Structure 1
């Protein structure tokens, strides 16, 4: 009875979503999220430098083949969704988001032994996912207005009839929320699972932790792919209608 009570108390005391917070000039900064973001960004920069130094047509390196595969898949998706000529910058944008989110998610496999972790996956902090979603959505609206004009771009809110305006408006406003919370929810759930697995006895802890880490890496890959794919799909709204094009 006592053992069950202790386990129950431990389960109740599991805390997730905590951050290492610094207060700078009255502003609370989640240092762990910032550190994870900087590390993921640094890895992307080093990845690009390494790719540039080893660029070869005859004997491409593994890094080059990986990058070319990712770029080729994104180019095909952009071409089929909105056409590369409509918004050519979507290819590097989607590729950068995919690689950044992928590496940021995979930071979860690096334990620091500190609670809260010094470098958890940054996407487990909703502040980062909101920032990424706003980047995509604001850029999408700016591009749409530049390509089609204010009236031409926002005219889709009144289609197929004026009566659909409230529903279309709610759908438009929900895009940044769904884009950010989808990524946050899936990555944050992984943080919760790691916290629960940590309650296992030490002599069997390695097995479920190893299995979950591998599964977590797969989830991180899928979520990075989905975010990049949704970015491309959302930008399809900047493509002029066939009638407008004629």
Structure 2
């Protein structure tokens, strides 16, 4: 059974860093940055060519998402947020499909002074390799297969909706909204914000994590799993695209609800 490389600082034992998630988040960021640079490197006002054509299609697609949820006079400024969300989530969703980078450790392992594999972890491991107890660390996966990432993203979106609400409708109308249509509805509005955060984050996490678990199960089938693996990976690309779209459009819907009094 593969484990994630976790670093827990001795001074803060309650704080745990998933190095695999951190690594893959950085990889996703770099890929999105390269795509953005490649698509805007040789801009032309005429007929777009090459990667510019692809990026312009994505921009038009995001404009369509925003236009379906709010007035574009107000929503045009959210194009950068929507473009960032859909590219980051789509690329992140796909990263766990093609590669599987696992390291095997039968001795304590440290990385840049961080204790990743300890003697205690090795002794408690149930994995046997060449007659020795080992710890297998999985370094490559989709960053969106980690609930901490998707919930952090959803929390960021919900916080942004409140900031935009104050900016567009004013602090007075923002506060007034929580007591409409009656002051007794105030607890329901608070529960609604909490539910939005959980559903937005867990929907993305659940779909991507379940897909990677199923891929791991298919890999255990050996040669018999080649065809099912190819089929499922193709379906996973479709699921990854749908989940990127769903997260982006729901983010715009939540923003729209806040900026229209």
**Same fold judged by TM-score > 0.5?**
yes
Deviation for aligned residue 1:87: 4.4
Shift of 1:59: 4.4
TM-score by length of 1: 0.83
Question: Does residue 1:232 correspond to 2:252, yes or no?
Answer: yes
Partner of 2:125: none
Q: Does 1:64 align with 2:52?
A: yes
Matched residue SS, 1:60: coil
Cα offset, 1:116, TM superposition: 4.2
TM-score (norm: length of structure 2) = 0.79
Pair 1:111-2:131 in alignment: no
Deviations 1:120-148 (A, max 9, x none): 00011111111111111111101111222
Give the counterpart of 2:225 among 189, 205, 210: 205
C-alpha RMSD over aligned residues? 2.0
Q: Deviation of residue 40 (structure 1)?
A: 0.7
Residues 156-171 of structure 1 mapped to structure 2, 5 A cutoff: 156-171=177-192
The 2-side partners of 1:216 and 1:206 are apart by 15
Alignment partner of 1:173: what SS? helix
Residue 113 of structure 1: how far off its partner (Å):
4.3
Of Structure 1 and Structure 2, the greater strand share is in: 2
Structure 1: gaps of 5 or more residues: 1-14, 242-246
Matched, 1:217 2:237: yes
Q: Deviations over 1:172-214 (max 9, x none)?
A: 22111111111111111112111211221x2222211111111
Higher relative contact order by CA 8 Å / sep ≥ 6: 1 or 2? 1
| 1:96 alignment partner, one of 84, 108, 127 | 84
Contact 1:54 1:61 in 2 (8 A): no
Contact 2:97 2:212 in 1 (8 A): no
Task: Note the 1:121-136 alignment, pairs <5 A.
Answer: 121-136=142-157
In structure 2, C-alpha distance between the alignment counterparts of 1:215 and 1:76, rounded to whole Å: 25
Q: Secondary structure at the match of 2:96?
A: helix
2:48 is paired with a residue of what secondary structure? Answer: coil
1:66-115 Cα distance to aligned partner (Å, 9 max, x none): 22122112223323422233243321101110000000111012223415
1:32 has 2:20 as partner: yes
Q: Which has the higher helix share?
A: 1
**Which residue is 1:20 aligned to?**
5
Q: List gaps (5 residues or longer) in structure 2.
A: 103-135
Q: 1:102 to 1:32 in 2, by over 3 A?
A: same
Count of aligned pairs: 225
Distance in 2, matches of 1:173 and 1:96, equals 24
SS in structure 2 of the partner of residue 81 of structure 1: coil
2:93–2:143 CA contact under 8 A, matched in 1: yes
